[in-house]
Amino acid sequence: MAQLIPPHGGKGLTICLLEGAEREAELQRAQNLKKVPISARVKGDLIMIGTGGFSPLTGFMTRADWKGVCENFLMADGTFWPVPVTLDVSREDAGQIKEGDEIALYDPEGDEIMATMKVTEVWEETEADKRWECEKVFMGEGTPTAEEFWKIAEEDHPGVQMVMKQKEFNIAGPVKVLSEGEYPTKYAGIYHRPADSRKIFEERGWSDVAALQLRNPMHRSHEYLCKIAIEVCDGAYIHSLVGNLKPGDIPADVRVKCIDVLVKNYFVEDNVVQGGYPLDMRYAGPREGLLHATFRQNYGCSRMIIGRDHAGVGDFYGMFEAQTIFDKIPHPEEPGKALLCQPLKIDWTFYCYKCDGMASLRTCPHDKKDRVLLSGTMLRKLLSEGGELPDHFGRDEVIEILRDYYENLTEKVEIKTHKAATGD
């Protein structure tokens, strides 16, 4: 019998999603509670808490949790966690909520009550607090000083912009989740709860599973990374973000279509599983790489593929900073509180004309001019401008899907390039 990695936190999957009669009763009760609007990011976090994707979290973080996570990667109880998971509310709403209150969390975009919450703390996050959080969570080797970071962060870093636009207060407390939003229907067959992926892996007899994080269309380098993982593990989990991205990124339904055609034509299907999860990108580079490994552990993955500039944006992070950060994090001794999912560190991969195949900086002795060095960012820029792609960057079937998408776009967003996109 396959023995999958246990969920993070040592408490199993902490599922806060109600179903059936219990859900209906709570939904009825929620109609009489104060409704508090939530952002798209909080909605995704809430669904992950509900399904056990964020185990062992059962609600949103206290100020002590937030401070410990930003400063030391540890929540107040000593459990490893790499990025804050907080729920922001306006000053007006905070003034009407006190410790012990029960409230309803409302998604204004979907016009739906998503959860109920028992408030345990109402705490202010000042402008100075937000800047401190940004420096701790988003500042990397590409901008090693706070002065360099703030010169460009507020204009060019979507994660920083997201934090700085948060409302003035946060509320903490456990939740009862009542909905998974549009994801189960819009991405039927792709959207997974952790229990779903674990069941699939167990049925296949897998115990050592590698996760491939995707927010861009799957090109040849992604394909190569995935195939390396399949060679050394029981199987690979191609796990795509189906939540919100920054403007100019390619939507989830197009990316899913690209993965479908790749898996069908270029993989042994028994060795790969495709799934989707509902978070918004935070673009936190190394810290987000740790988050990806943390919740992939809950989905049953023992390894997280970490390549070049994982979850990066612009030139804020070193090329392999998301790999080296795994060697620097704390490892709590208390069982279950340490991160168990390990990184599968792979060098920069590309097609080399002289090697006549896919290679990496560790295996290819040739010059830069012999290599197809393009990122997902450069792919989007070339396609959006109607440019020609170099041979061997992507499979023809995938490029055809992407060209069709860009040709039918009515509103285009300027794509900024950076060192990671061009190979400089």
- CB atoms near residue 335 (< 10 Å): 8
CB-count exposure of residue 373 (10 Å: 0-12, 13-18, 19+) = buried
- Do 278 and 344 lie in one domain? The reply is yes
> What pLDDT does 2 receive?
63
Tokens of 357: 């195949």
At 412, the pLDDT band (50, 70, 90 cuts) reads low
Domain contains 296: yes
- Do 288 and 335 lie in one domain? The reply is yes
- Do 175 and 217 lie in one domain? The reply is no
- Do 105 and 192 lie in one domain? The reply is no
Say which residue the tokens 């701790």 belong to. 136
- CB within 8 A of 412, min separation 6: which ones? 384
For the chain, the first-to-last Cα distance in angstroms comes to 48
Tokens of 303: 């390894």
Say which residue the tokens 């997201």 belong to. 162
Laid out side by side, the sheet with 342-345 consists of 272-277, 235-241, 209-214, 303-306, 342-345
Side-chain-side CA neighbours of 163 within 13 Å: the count stands at: 28
At 110, the pLDDT band (50, 70, 90 cuts) reads very high
- Do 234 and 210 lie in one domain? The reply is yes
Domain contains 222: yes
> What pLDDT does 154 receive?
95
Of 144, 179, 214, which marks where a domain is finished?
179
Annotated active-site residue 265? The verdict is no
Residue 163 host element (H or E): helix 158-164
Rounded alpha-carbon distances, angstroms, from residue 151 to 130, 145, 154, 161, 229: 16, 10, 8, 13, 39
Query: How much is the pTM?
Result: 0.93
- Do 329 and 407 lie in one domain? The reply is yes
Q: What are phi and psi of 101, to 5 degrees?
A: -70, 150
Domain contains 151: no
What is the C-alpha to C-alpha distance for residues 366 and 381, in angstroms, rounded to an integer? 26
- Do 229 and 200 lie in one domain? The reply is yes
Annotated active-site residue 216? The verdict is yes
Higher-confidence position of 399 and 245: 399
What is the C-alpha to C-alpha distance for residues 30 and 92, in angstroms, rounded to an integer? 20
What is the C-alpha to C-alpha distance for residues 417 and 107, in angstroms, rounded to an integer? 34
- Can you give the C-alpha Rg of the chain in angstroms? 21
Q: Which runs of E-coded beta strand occur in 30-149? A: 34-37, 59-60, 88-89, 102-107, 112-118, 121-124
- Do 34 and 170 lie in one domain? The reply is yes
Mean pLDDT of the region 330-341? 96
Domain contains 148: no
Of 147, 179, 211, which marks where a domain is finished?
179
Work out the percent of the chain whose per-residue pLDDT is above 70. Answer: 95
Could you check whether the bond before residue 56 is cis, i.e. omega within 30 degrees of 0?
A: yes
What is the C-alpha to C-alpha distance for residues 326 and 343, in angstroms, rounded to an integer? 7
> What pLDDT does 135 receive?
98
Tokens of 100: 């012990």
Q: What is the CATH number of the domain that holds 208?
A: 3.40.50.620
Count: domains in the chain: 2
pLDDT tens digits along 380-395? 778 877 777 888 888 9
Domain holding 44, by residue range, is 20-125+166-179
Among the listed residues 216, 244, 271, 298, the single catalytic one is 216
Q: Report which DSSP code applies to 229.
A: H
- Do 218 and 367 lie in one domain? The reply is yes
Mean pLDDT of the region 265-290? 95
Domain contains 175: yes
pLDDT tens digits along 216-249? 788 899 999 999 999 999 999 999 998 877 677 7
Domain contains 85: yes
Tokens of 73: 């990667």
Rounded alpha-carbon distances, angstroms, from residue 412 to 132, 253, 273: 34, 18, 32
> What pLDDT does 105 receive?
98
Mean pLDDT of the region 139-148? 96
What is the C-alpha to C-alpha distance for residues 17 and 314, in angstroms, rounded to an integer? 36
What is the C-alpha to C-alpha distance for residues 291 and 339, in angstroms, rounded to an integer? 10
Among the listed residues 215, 255, 287, 380, the single catalytic one is 215
> What pLDDT does 90 receive?
97
- Do 245 and 174 lie in one domain? The reply is no
Domain contains 336: yes
- Do 232 and 381 lie in one domain? The reply is yes
What rounded mean pLDDT belongs to the chain? 93
pLDDT tens digits along 166-219? 999 999 999 999 999 999 999 999 999 999 999 999 999 999 999 999 887 888
Q: What is the CATH number of the domain that holds 57?
A: 3.10.400.10
Higher-confidence position of 409 and 230: 230
CA 6 to chain centre: 20
- Do 232 and 117 lie in one domain? The reply is no
> What pLDDT does 421 receive?
46
Domain contains 205: yes
Tokens of 141: 């080797």
